[in-house]
Structure 1
Amino acid sequence: MTQKKTIVVSGCCGTIGHALLQSLATLPQYTEVLGIDNNESGLFSLEQEFRGKFRFAFGDIRDGQRLKVLFEGADVVLHTAALKHVPSCELAPSEAIKTNILGVSNVIEAARNARVERVLFTSSDKAVNPTNVMGTSKLMGERLMSAAQASARRHETGIFFSTRFGNVLGSHGSVFPLFQQQIAKGGPVTLTDPDMTRFVMSTRDAVSLVLESLELAQGGEVFVSKMRALRIADLAAVMIDCLAPRYGLRPEDIAVNVIGSKPGEKLYEELLTEEESHRSLQLANFYVILPAFLDLYGVEYTYETAQPHEKGQIYRSHEQSLLSQEEIAAYLRESGLLPDGGA
């Protein structure tokens, strides 16, 4: 994509949407950026932060007609808006359907209408063998994007694809700000299960996945970053050691309470299913999951340095080489989540 482009970011007030705006501000290939969200106060804050550099508009992905208006003239759409919290989706599945499934369908239809060149959907590793409504809705979003690509082949209306994130440390509602708040109050820090493991990424990692896959995508794929894995108990221990002194507290005085797993919560996450492993490729930084019904797409998927993925290798977080507490501390500082000079 060497020609200058107009790009739309849905969910621009969220952690990933905001981080994407900050990166796009440094990229000269985008002549115009439009941020869309249904958070009025958040949009006002972004307008103050970027001071006329970008345009912002109030809009909800549940409103397909509004999206058709907002997507007019767009070359690229980065769709990050979603309901992302497992408990809220579990308690109100109909709302998750409206946003995470019907909302994706609205984005696809509006993008087709505007003849957008590239449409990216941000998914989650919870879409792999989902055990909850949120993960199931994200899996359906991925399948809608792949189906949109099959239709795009017939109508020549662009490239549709997905990226699959792990747990983005520091994002709204993630465990990092929760632990930080609990430590600041003197504890206790609450753990669901001492053996729980997760794939993690920083906002910087997430933005890199989005922007790099945007260049690589050929249609219908799911791009998955090769992520670090850690034990949540180790993350809590590192944060207590590093942050307690900054609040005038002693780490040994911060209690850790085990409260048990939440309904629908896995002890570990997976990056891809066994079935997906049979149609995946490996790049230096990514796994690329190709569409299941390749004959529908008419694409010969070729990427530089791509290697066939080992069939049956599904990468569960608890089976990986987990980061040590020292490595977690270094990663958090590198990601800007802890100040330099911590424990």
Structure 2
Amino acid sequence: MSNNNGNRSYKEALANKTILVTGGTGSFGHNVVEKILQTANPKEIIIFSRDEKKQFDMRNEFQNDKLTFLIGDVRDKDSVSKVMRRDIDYVFHAAALKQVPSCEFFPLEAAKTNIIGSSNVLDAAEEANVEKMVILSTDKAVYPINAMGISKAMMEKLMLAKARSHTSDTIFCGVRYGNVMYSRGSVFPLFLEQMQRGLPITVTEPNMTRFLLPLPVAIDLVLFAMANGENGDIHVRKSPAATVQHMAEAMRDLFKPNAEIKSIGIREGEKMHETLVTREELMKAVEYDDYFRIRSLERIDYDKYFSAGQAVPVPKEDYNSFNTRRLSLDETKELLLSLREIKEALKHPIV
């Protein structure tokens, strides 16, 4: 991260610490564990999730004595509390239901995991007086119109309530980012699978825009927040965006130039454009080269904006995927080619 002289290194923060990753077998958990093991020197990393097969695979892949795998569900308050009593120093809360259609069809399940489950983790972290907890949120939590976004917005509010409570020394903060490229369930693996099966590439609405963020960049943001976030902070990584059409065309050009692209219309609960920071949040955010730091517990100094002379202009719009930097088709392809998963997939051409 730039423009942040004096920031603490995550390597320093995590050295000889015990780290809990909820939902640790997912795309984020798998990759953040890999990076911490390679670059920092933690005492222990605890993977807490309910999928025994993914834990089995991850254990065999890493074969590292610093990893501990525990079966459990964030919905179960007792199991979360039991884990948190293992002298945890830092918590990455990544466990969530993330698919918009799934949450839209089963909104109560989204609430159980993303709201109640998050509350269980927040409560347990507070009771155990862990040093810091970082929640992982999404652009869909901003001006939410679907069940997934609403549940994630409530998770953010729960985190902020904990940050205000001052009933423990735990620091509660978060990160918010847009589409993580090639994460589990994202659109790019779907496009590749469709081409491999000889099916058309399906896009919802060609002019729809989405933020694009490589997973390593998302992980850097979370590690930065873990090392430097203060109570109530939400860190938001600035990201370029692309149209869904360009995303599909970029994958087609890389893998199967004659593949058909078919528009199927906007699905229930989807937006044309996503927002990462609201106008109101921009009024109390600190902007750096690469990200925004929303000081969520600070009051907005309205006098600064509306007094005579107006020292600082009022933001005229939010920060969204329509007004951020838009990638061209070639730039979208270039970004895709930077991904490890794309490089690996290109070794196996589609016949």
Give the TM-score normalised by structure 1.
0.89
| Alignment counterpart, residue 83 of structure 2, candidates 70, 88, 93 | 70
Q: Give the total of aligned pairs.
A: 322
- Structure 1 residues 35 and 309 mapped into 2: Cα distance closer, same or farther (>3 Å)? farther
- Tell me the secondary structure at the aligned position of residue 157 of structure 2: helix
1:14 matched residue in structure 2: 26
- Tell me the secondary structure at the aligned position of residue 319 of structure 2: coil
Q: For 1:86 and 1:3, locate their aligned partners in 2 and report how far apart those are by CA, in whole Å.
A: 37
The answer to whether the Cα contact below 8 Å between 1:278 and 1:311 also exists between their aligned partners in 2 is yes
**Post-superposition offset of 1:68:** 1.1
> After superposition, what is the alpha-carbon deviation per residue over 1:47-69, rounded to whole angstroms, capped at 9, x for unaligned?
11121331110010001111111
2:125 matched residue in structure 1: 111
| Alignment counterpart, residue 208 of structure 1, candidates 220, 225, 230 | 220
1:289 matched residue in structure 2: 294
Q: For 2:206 and 2:23, locate their aligned partners in 1 and report how far apart those are by CA, in whole Å.
A: 33
The answer to whether the Cα contact below 8 Å between 1:10 and 1:80 also exists between their aligned partners in 2 is yes
Are positions 1:133 and 2:137 aligned together? no
Unaligned runs of 5+ in 1: 245-250, 296-307
Unaligned runs of 5+ in 2: 1-12, 301-311, 347-351
1:298 matched residue in structure 2: none
- Structure 1 residues 195 and 96 mapped into 2: Cα distance closer, same or farther (>3 Å)? same
The answer to whether the Cα contact below 8 Å between 2:275 and 2:318 also exists between their aligned partners in 1 is yes
The answer to whether the Cα contact below 8 Å between 1:280 and 1:309 also exists between their aligned partners in 2 is no
Q: For 1:2 and 1:319, locate their aligned partners in 2 and report how far apart those are by CA, in whole Å.
A: 36
Q: For 2:139 and 2:323, locate their aligned partners in 1 and report how far apart those are by CA, in whole Å.
A: 15
1:328 matched residue in structure 2: 332
**Post-superposition offset of 1:321:** 2.8
Identity fraction in percent = 36
- Tell me the secondary structure at the aligned position of residue 39 of structure 2: coil
- Structure 1 residues 238 and 61 mapped into 2: Cα distance closer, same or farther (>3 Å)? same
**Post-superposition offset of 1:157:** 2.4
Q: For 1:30 and 1:79, locate their aligned partners in 2 and report how far apart those are by CA, in whole Å.
A: 17
Letter in 1 for 2:79: R
2:103 matched residue in structure 1: 89
- Structure 1 residues 51 and 2 mapped into 2: Cα distance closer, same or farther (>3 Å)? closer
1:299 matched residue in structure 2: none
| Alignment counterpart, residue 4 of structure 1, candidates 6, 13, 16 | 16
Q: For 2:314 and 2:339, locate their aligned partners in 1 and report how far apart those are by CA, in whole Å.
A: 30
Question: Which residues in structure 2 correspond to 1:1-343 (within 5 Å)?
Answer: 1=13, 4-53=16-65, 54-72=67-85, 73-151=87-165, 153=166, 155-244=167-256, 251-252=257-258, 254-292=259-297, 294=299, 311-339=315-343
Letter in 2 for 1:26: Q
**Post-superposition offset of 1:30:** 1.5
- Structure 1 residues 159 and 312 mapped into 2: Cα distance closer, same or farther (>3 Å)? farther
Give the TM-score normalised by structure 2.
0.87
**Post-superposition offset of 1:187:** 2.5
**Post-superposition offset of 1:292:** 4.7
- Tell me the secondary structure at the aligned position of residue 126 of structure 1: helix
> After superposition, what is the alpha-carbon deviation per residue over 1:104-136, rounded to whole angstroms, capped at 9, x for unaligned?
100011101211110010000001100101001
- Tell me the secondary structure at the aligned position of residue 338 of structure 1: helix
RMSD: 2.0
> After superposition, what is the alpha-carbon deviation per residue over 1:111-170, rounded to whole angstroms, capped at 9, x for unaligned?
01211110010000001100101001101101110110111x2x2321001110210111
The answer to whether the Cα contact below 8 Å between 2:160 and 2:296 also exists between their aligned partners in 1 is yes
- Structure 1 residues 2 and 207 mapped into 2: Cα distance closer, same or farther (>3 Å)? closer
Q: For 2:280 and 2:341, locate their aligned partners in 1 and report how far apart those are by CA, in whole Å.
A: 36
**Post-superposition offset of 1:310:** 6.5
Q: For 1:20 and 1:341, locate their aligned partners in 2 and report how far apart those are by CA, in whole Å.
A: 22
